[in-house]
Structure 1
């Protein structure tokens, strides 16, 4: 029996217009009635997830910033910060790359040092609470995640310059335009295992959905691991199943309905 469902957002639960499926709220109600817990695991910041899922925030686990920050009912269950030296290194290296803009992600807001219009169009889809600062290496707040907004292509343009850091930090291509850095022991899979411990369940009672490489560890944390039909080849290879429908066809909702026997 499925007891926990954890889904990624962009490219998974959300369509390409960043919209939730219309059936989602009724589906979530039925899941709650069956004591199936929902978790949202995303590279997005905590404040964004709380706003998007405000009506159900008291019964939903939030795994934000690629699992660096896990909360439930306002309680902080897991916080993994990057060391300041790493933040400085990533920022300084990114500054030398073409069309690559670093974004620092704290608990409550994001920080950028450039107000390039194209950057803001990308970033403000996810970071409603942000501050433009003159120098990101001087931001005093603890940082959960460094994200590089790569206006060319994260996997081919910026990622090759940072592969050398993969032994010490978690480096993940999080989307076509995003490359993310977190602490080595911070990822969505670790966050899911913490939630499983809280609920007293294991991977055989867990279903997950993901589409990009920051979802890789999620696939390993659940027996019912689903790569979206539109997923990166690396996620498709790691998942146990592939959804019949993509994110623009409500693939997550339709799969949950079918597997859990729901009627929405």
Structure 2
């Protein structure tokens, strides 16, 4: 595996770069400085809210590109590269559909804020890990503004308890199982692969110059763009099958291990 040509590193956040405590390691931040020295661009690509991504990567937030809300939004150097909102009429349709489903918790995801019903303190506590900015509403239909996606949470399994209720929307929307507990519904072009392709074009990056890490189904489209695509050891079976390579788990520094190999390859090249 020759990583000497890599010019861009892209990684998912939860289950990939972040450990089970939802933190990035000091080892990663040290490696980021090594990437900077070699003009290797770093992209954080997550289903998280834009502000939440910045909070998790605060020491480097001014020097990275961010793909947020599963590809609904992308920004580099204060230049917005992607903004793909969910059509307002579909928003109302999905909210009304979800009203009849028990034990799920929808989140309306705007660019600067998220909106949830204020009837579950337990879910609100969980939400704070993923959304830095949010508001409580009596009725989700009361929010008239633009959103990027609707995220839906189940405390047990999104694949088991949410997906069967919404999979029919895949005909003309993105319906992504984005984690054990989450499903995201967004516009058809709002996925990490679409957003990453725009970032690649903006930076003139080719597939052999791209290194991508992921762990769940919402990472599949962006993994397909890279010659050097890595699934985490803890990844969903679909991701393990799709990626060209595997690395150790997010709790065993799987991303950092490959980045160290990347830095070493770059040193040998010079």
**TM-score, length-scaled by structure 1:** 0.96
Tell whether 2:244 aligns with 1:246: no
Q: Which deviates more, 137-146 or 36-45?
A: 137-146
After the TM superposition, which parts of structure 1 deviate over 3 Å for at least 4 consecutive aligned residues? Answer: none
Residue number in structure 2 paired with 1:114 = 118
5 Å-filtered alignment, 1:66-215, equals 66-215=70-219
Aligned residues: 262
Structure 1 segments unaligned to the other structure (5+ residues): none
Structure 1 residues 141 and 224 mapped into 2: Cα distance closer, same or farther (>3 Å)? same
Match among 26, 30, 35 for residue 30 of structure 2: 26
Q: Secondary structure at the match of 2:162?
A: helix
Q: Secondary structure at the match of 1:215?
A: helix
5 Å-filtered alignment, 1:217-232, equals 217-232=221-236
Match among 247, 255, 258 for residue 255 of structure 1: 258
Structure 2 segments unaligned to the other structure (5+ residues): none
Query: Matches of 2:181 and 2:125 in 1, distance apart?
Result: 12
Contact 1:57 1:73 in 2 (8 A): no
Residue number in structure 2 paired with 1:10 = 14
Query: Matches of 2:97 and 2:176 in 1, distance apart?
Result: 16
Structure 1 residues 262 and 54 mapped into 2: Cα distance closer, same or farther (>3 Å)? farther
Query: Matches of 2:37 and 2:265 in 1, distance apart?
Result: 11
Match among 55, 59, 62 for residue 55 of structure 1: 59
**TM-score, length-scaled by structure 2:** 0.94
Contact 1:95 1:102 in 2 (8 A): no
Query: Matches of 1:122 and 1:222 in 2, distance apart?
Result: 33
Over aligned residue pairs, what C-alpha RMSD do you find?
1.3
Residue number in structure 2 paired with 1:216 = 220
Query: Matches of 1:152 and 1:242 in 2, distance apart?
Result: 27
Query: Matches of 2:242 and 2:12 in 1, distance apart?
Result: 15
